[in-house]
A and B are shown apart, each in its own frame.
Chain A
Amino acid sequence: MILRRLALTVPILLGTSTIVFLILRLVPGDPAASILGSNATEEAIIRVRAELGLDQPLWQQFVSWLGGVLRGDFGRDYITNQAITEELAARLPITIELAGIAFLLALATAIPLGVVGAVRNGGWADRVVRAVAVLSIAVPDFVFGILGILSFALALSLVPSSGYTPIEDGLLENLRSLAIPAIALSLGLGGVLARVTRSAMLDVLGSDYVRFAKASGFGTGAIVFRYALRNASIPIVTVIGLQVGYILGGTVVVEQLFSLPGLGQLIVEAMLARNYPVLQACILVFVVAFIFANLITDLLYAVLNPRLRKVGAA
């Protein structure tokens, strides 16, 4: 099953690469103009376009780009002339760290909150959980980001207001520089997750076997954690898998706001400059991340629900 899924990613990657390549070319704008400054002469533009190979037919550009990617070579940044693999190597760890912390924060807070909401269904704890969840879904992450800067950086001076401190300069400093952006990024996912956990748990807690377990004298804790949560985990895992895309998209906004030199910031800069090879590489990285997140989700289904294992094997 895993092999079949992996094989399927090849056409998906090829398809998305083609679409991304074509869409970028359809967007008006000229990278040569960005490179030369927006007031370069026409001759200079023509010269640079030729240097970049932008005067070749589109299919030829695509084939040579794809050939490079298959050899692990994403080409060179139009603006800085740096190898894009080097740029990715410098920026990707920052985005992974940011997204990873946000992801863990969301899991660590939302699932317990969702469980509490379901167990205390209708009570004040449930109401608070629901209110917090809706609020964190409804308010965009950049608003939380700004509020975070104003309160934690400006008023309390707990964290720097922007910028990234690498791990080499100390783990604590590094985490402080990522704290507010990671929290801002985690809130949207956390809100969705808390709601899904709550409703999935409510379903399970209302089922016959839970009632039977209760009747057999099992304690609430055992019921909730040994049986109910495990059975509620399928929809929760599904949502987590889908929300990986949300986190990745969120890094674009959050990194820009907090001046973190990660992949999200690179995408914005590359888009505005029509820096095609950089954009293509970044988007490809995001697509790969998303595909693998979904693959892992599917594998987790099998782990969580033995019945799926049999179906997969058959």
Chain B
Amino acid sequence: MPNQLPRRRPVNALAFACTALVMAILAGCAPASTTNSAAPAELGDPVQGGSATLATQGAPVNMDPAEAQLYASIQVYQNIFSTLINVDENFEFVSNLAESWQQDDDLTWSFTLVEGVKFHNGETLTAGDVAFSIERMRTAAQGVFVSVFESVEVIDDLNFKIHLSAPYGPMEATLASVVGIVNQKAVESSDPKEKPVGTGPYKLTKWVKGSTVTLTRFDDYFKSEKPYLDEVVFEAVPDDSVRLAGLQTGQFDWIQTVPAQQIPELVKSSKFGHTDAGAYLPYLLILNTTSGPFTSLEARQGLNWLIDREQIVDLAFSGAAVEASEAVSNDHPFYSGVDIYEGAPDIDKGQALFDEAGVVGEPIVILVDQADSAYALIAQVIQSELAEVGMTATIETVASSEYFGRMVSKDFDIAMTYFTASLDPALTYNLLGQSESGFNFTGYQSSELDAALEEFTTSTDQDARKAFYPDLVEAFQEESPFIFVANRETQYFTSSTLGGASSVPTLEVRAEDLWQAAAE
């Protein structure tokens, strides 16, 4: 699909318990902005050797970076494959496989690869592999993210150009997020879903489906001092309290997601380390603008005035979230802080707008995906607030696979989803709000907002884009096809001897930074 804006997928929870579906484009290489707060000084300098077991919520199912979409898969294979570009703690794009790059003109970017990078099968990385990886991705499940990439021109072994079909602002963000470089020979000789071969710090050595993935240090990794650990085991443990028990018994060195009410105690404990909490998962309400009360602009604005974000943070997230009204996290350089409904909840203002809309008394269906318990709690807060202005809302909780069908057929009034915090907000807003987007579940269409989105997306002057972004946020708040409510915090807990852990906006688990003080 040339000439079409690239789309990112919002994140929705799918599999059992908390196996989050996180789309890769939003994920990818992330800044190692926050490090272990377990006083790294006490741990000293990183040392080589040792192993670590990381307990995750879900089990990976697919190791092909062009196809895999489950976060449970992505968080593992991100350590097997490398991207061309990385992002540092200031959201600056830095060299990874690409030693240098530049924009030649609106539609062309030139890249030079680091020399002598090896794949796990011994092959040397060439520009041909990059061309193969991108071409292959265009026709795969993740293809929507590179649809604006027209072709890759190989100049020599280390140099290539990417030609675009339209100017593209989030170019570097896309390369840093979603494009894992594969080896052509490896892909053609064995199933890439099962046998991933990348240039990353770890190679896959053992995979027990539904349970553990064992990664072993790749000795020829192109960053000479990394990785530190000889072996990293990802173990899927769906139950929150069992994962925590495993950390307490020393079975796990790193765990994902603990029950929110236990966080304060764990943070205080000297027996464990933890990463800083980062608010990297914005939750939003999706309003059906094609039928029902929220076809009315006044009703949508009225709903904005009713939302009690403080209560949502407390009730739905036990305080482990921050209030949010836009797509990017608070530490993102684009963060605007714009909120035209500041002062909400304001029942009087809400009531006036619902009266004006003439929809008071109309029934409202709040559709909830059972995969994430926060959705139902957010729905309860919204339900009680709607009751204050005389609106009766019914909460319908359904399985993920049904939820999606109802979203597509617009069989809801209010639905909910969450996103991974994006490296570039253009992708989020385009996906949710662009009229033709396949992920525009609100049904909202506006040529003015489309034009604004296009300007924001196709501009390649990052300063101009940054200056324009608050206007875009405001325009979407004004029209309110969707409403951001809270930004969930991500925090990992570690054993007291594990160094180098971080929580990053893209929710990447960077195993190459981890090391065991106990390995000495």
B438–A43 touching, CB < 8 Å: yes
Nearest-Cβ distance from residue B53 to partner chain A, whole angstroms: 9
Q: Of A37, A45, A269, which one neighbours B21 at CB under 8 angstroms?
A: A37
Question: Which residue of B is nearest A268, CB measured?
Answer: B16
Question: Which residue of A is nearest B68, CB measured?
Answer: A37
A42: which B residues are within 8 A, CB to CB?
408, 438
B237–A37 touching, CB < 8 Å: no
A266–B210 touching, CB < 8 Å: yes
B62–A80 touching, CB < 8 Å: yes
Nearest-Cβ distance from residue A160 to partner chain B, whole angstroms: 5
A87 to B211, CA, bound (A): 13
1/0 per residue, CB under 8 A from B, across A2-42: the answer is: 00000000000000000000000000111101101111111
| Interface membership of B476, Cβ < 8 A | no
Nearest-Cβ distance from residue B353 to partner chain A, whole angstroms: 30
A45 to B404, CA, bound (A): 11
Question: Which residue of B is nearest A260, CB measured?
Answer: B211
Q: Of A81, A163, A268, which one neighbours B237 at CB under 8 angstroms?
A: A163
A81 to B61, CA, bound (A): 9
B14–A163 touching, CB < 8 Å: no
A163–B212 touching, CB < 8 Å: yes
Nearest-Cβ distance from residue A76 to partner chain B, whole angstroms: 12
Nearest-Cβ distance from residue B8 to partner chain A, whole angstroms: 9
Given A261-B211, A272-B399, A153-B249 contact (CB < 8 Å): yes
Q: Of B401, B404, B408, B438, which one neighbours A272 at CB under 8 angstroms?
A: B401
A294: which B residues are within 8 A, CB to CB?
none
Q: Of A81, A161, A261, which one neighbours B193 at CB under 8 angstroms?
A: A81
B12–A261 touching, CB < 8 Å: no
| Interface membership of B485, Cβ < 8 A | no
B249–A157 touching, CB < 8 Å: yes
Nearest-Cβ distance from residue B345 to partner chain A, whole angstroms: 29
| Interface membership of B280, Cβ < 8 A | no
B242–A257 touching, CB < 8 Å: yes
* Tally of chain B residues near chain A (CB < 8 A): 50
1/0 per residue, CB under 8 A from A, across B208-246: the answer is: 111110000000000000000000000111110111011
Q: Which of B181-195 contact A (CB under 8 A)?
A: 193
A31 to B59, CA, bound (A): 18
* Tally of chain A residues near chain B (CB < 8 A): 48
| Interface membership of A186, Cβ < 8 A | no
Given A42-B408, A259-B235, A80-B61 contact (CB < 8 Å): yes
1/0 per residue, CB under 8 A from A, across B6-33: the answer is: 0001111011100001010000000000
| Interface membership of B400, Cβ < 8 A | yes
B210: which A residues are within 8 A, CB to CB?
91, 261, 265-266, 269
| Interface membership of A74, Cβ < 8 A | no
Please indicate which of the listed interface residues B193, B211, B235, B402 has the most CB atoms of chain A within 10 Å of its own CB: B211
Nearest-Cβ distance from residue B500 to partner chain A, whole angstroms: 24
Nearest-Cβ distance from residue B396 to partner chain A, whole angstroms: 11
A177 to B209, CA, bound (A): 17
| Interface membership of A146, Cβ < 8 A | yes
A-B contact count (CB 8 A): 152
| Interface membership of B270, Cβ < 8 A | no
B404–A161 touching, CB < 8 Å: no
B16–A256 touching, CB < 8 Å: yes
Question: Which residue of A is nearest B247, CB measured?
Answer: A161
| Interface membership of A195, Cβ < 8 A | no
Q: Of A38, A146, A268, which one neighbours B12 at CB under 8 angstroms?
A: A38
B10: which A residues are within 8 A, CB to CB?
39
A30: which B residues are within 8 A, CB to CB?
401-402, 404-405
B403: which A residues are within 8 A, CB to CB?
38
Nearest-Cβ distance from residue A252 to partner chain B, whole angstroms: 11
Given A33-B401, A39-B10, A272-B400, A162-B242 contact (CB < 8 Å): yes
Nearest-Cβ distance from residue B471 to partner chain A, whole angstroms: 27
A80: which B residues are within 8 A, CB to CB?
61-62, 193, 209
B236–A259 touching, CB < 8 Å: yes
| Interface membership of A183, Cβ < 8 A | no
A87 to B245, CA, bound (A): 29
A11 to B369, CA, bound (A): 38
Nearest-Cβ distance from residue B27 to partner chain A, whole angstroms: 13
Q: Which of B405-419 contact A (CB under 8 A)?
A: 405, 407-408, 417
1/0 per residue, CB under 8 A from B, across A137-155: the answer is: 0000000001001100110
A259: which B residues are within 8 A, CB to CB?
211, 235-239, 242
B14–A37 touching, CB < 8 Å: yes
A163: which B residues are within 8 A, CB to CB?
211-212, 235, 237, 246, 251
Q: Of A31, A153, A164, A257, which one neighbours B401 at CB under 8 angstroms?
A: A31
Nearest-Cβ distance from residue B241 to partner chain A, whole angstroms: 7
| Interface membership of A90, Cβ < 8 A | yes
A91 to B211, CA, bound (A): 11
Q: Of A28, A41, A153, A258, which one neighbours B439 at CB under 8 angstroms?
A: A41
B246: which A residues are within 8 A, CB to CB?
160-163
| Interface membership of A198, Cβ < 8 A | no
Question: Which residue of A is nearest B12, CB measured?
Answer: A38
A164: which B residues are within 8 A, CB to CB?
208, 211
| Interface membership of B340, Cβ < 8 A | no
| Interface membership of B384, Cβ < 8 A | no
| Interface membership of B322, Cβ < 8 A | no
Nearest-Cβ distance from residue A44 to partner chain B, whole angstroms: 8
A153: which B residues are within 8 A, CB to CB?
245, 249, 251
| Interface membership of A189, Cβ < 8 A | no
1/0 per residue, CB under 8 A from B, across A155-182: the answer is: 0010011111010000000000000000
Question: Which residue of B is nearest A153, CB measured?
Answer: B249
1/0 per residue, CB under 8 A from A, across B367-408: the answer is: 001010000000000000000000000000011111111011
Nearest-Cβ distance from residue A116 to partner chain B, whole angstroms: 35
Nearest-Cβ distance from residue A122 to partner chain B, whole angstroms: 41
| Interface membership of A273, Cβ < 8 A | yes
| Interface membership of B82, Cβ < 8 A | no
A259 to B209, CA, bound (A): 11
B21: which A residues are within 8 A, CB to CB?
37-39
Given A29-B401, A37-B70, A161-B249, A272-B208 contact (CB < 8 Å): no
B211: which A residues are within 8 A, CB to CB?
163-164, 259-261
Nearest-Cβ distance from residue B25 to partner chain A, whole angstroms: 12
1/0 per residue, CB under 8 A from A, across B112-127: the answer is: 0000000000000000
- Which B residues fall within an 8 A CB radius of A? 9-12, 14-16, 21, 23, 59, 61-62, 69-70, 141, 144, 193, 208-212, 235-239, 241-243, 245-246, 248-249, 251, 369, 371, 398-405, 407-408, 417, 438-439
4 more contacts with CB within 8 A, not counting A36-B141, A161-B246, are A79-B61, A154-B249, A162-B243, A261-B209
Pick 19 A–B contacts, CB within 8 A, sort by A: A28-B398, A28-B399, A28-B405, A37-B21, A39-B10, A39-B407, A41-B144, A45-B408, A80-B62, A80-B209, A90-B209, A161-B249, A162-B246, A163-B211, A163-B212, A164-B211, A269-B15, A269-B16, A273-B14
Across the A-B interface, the 8 shortest Cβ-Cβ residue pairs: A41-B438, A29-B401, A261-B210, A261-B211, A33-B404, A28-B402, A37-B69, A38-B404
